[in-house]
Amino acid sequence: PRPLSPYAAAKLAGERYARSWAVHTRLETVCLRYFNVFGPRQDPDSAYAAVIPIFLCALREGRPMPVNGDGLQTRDFTYVGDVVTGLLAAGSVPGVSGRVYNLAGGRPVTVLELGRALARLAGTEPRFEHRPPRAGDVRASHADGAAMRKDLGVSTDTALEEGLRRTWEASAR
């Protein structure tokens, strides 16, 4: 690993500390890396708001979806129900102490593709408002979930479109 930011270095250090505890004490640890978790009841006004609740809010209000940069950056979106399944497995599967797992959908999706999919759910044409790119934003991000599937017996079975549908329907309530 070669962390590209202080944030990433801190996350890696935490994983290394957890592994050290697992190796040198009886404390069992498992580290999970989450990739763009989404689902019902995310707050679009949070300082940490993700793109999906922001897009949903824009669509519901009839505004263009705000996109930082060209929208061709990719992300790996993971439905919250699949993350819960991974959490439960990580806490109950024997023999995985000290390991690190990616909990991810495993499929790169551009921000523009995401917006188009949400606009289809809303029954409207996608409209985007392009803004300047965010400094330090990662261009492409998606994860390999092979170890998660092999060791934990977990697969992220919720297709992006199905997770978006559940999220859209829950936001209508």
Say if CB 89 and CB 124 are below 8 A apart: no
Active-site residue identified among 7, 17, 79, 101: 7
7 is catalytic: yes
Cα–Cα dist 131/68, whole Å: 5
Q: Please state, in angstroms and as integers, the Cα–Cα distance from residue 44 to each residue in 47, 50, 106, 135, following that order.
A: 9, 7, 24, 21
DSSP string, 45-84: TSTT--HHHHHHHHHHTTPPEEEETTS--EEE-EEHHHHH
Q: Which residues belong to the active site?
A: 7
